[in-house]
Amino acid sequence: MEGSIFEVCLISELIRPDINQKANILGFFGRSPHVTIKVHDPLQPLSDLSFLFLSKPLSVGTYHVGLSVKDPNGVIMFPASEQNASVSQSGETINLGYSFRPFKCSGAGNYDVILLVNNKLDLESHFSIVAAEPNELI
């Protein structure tokens, strides 16, 4: 999306924040929209699902960021999860993580990830949850 400040959405089981904006990514699924999560039962909750958003270099300021996720039926699954992120020097980037424990699935299909910055649409992407074939489960 033109004018967006966030360019990348990474999806994993868990993201643990660390010092200096470092993020420990565990159970990496991929970069949306190229993510398909294969599960035993798409109606069962995932124990953890996390999103890591990476910005382009930004101007000094405070950015109000909100995340929503829609299920395959277009229903917003979670109230918008909001936070503020500050940039103190021009050219800095922001790494923002959101984790859902558990992530309550609504069945197989495409889930939309919607990120608002200062109450404007900044990034919209998706990921899929599908039932795995028996030979794909470990």
- According to the model, what pLDDT value does residue 93 have? 92
- According to the model, what pLDDT value does residue 17 have? 80
User: Cis omega before residue 33 (within 30°)?
Assistant: yes
- According to the model, what pLDDT value does residue 2 have? 54
- According to the model, what pLDDT value does residue 49 have? 95
Structure tokens at 108: 């197989």
- According to the model, what pLDDT value does residue 18 have? 81
The CATH code of the domain at 6-136 is: 2.60.40.10
Note the pLDDT tens digit of each residue in 2-24: 578 999 999 999 988 888 778 88
End-to-end alpha-carbon separation of the chain, Å? Answer: 38
Smallest CA-to-CA distance from 83 within 99, 68, 63, 101 is with 63
pTM of the shown model: 0.90
Q: Place 35 in a pLDDT band, splitting at 50, 70 and 90.
A: very high
The pLDDT > 70 percentage for the chain reads: 97
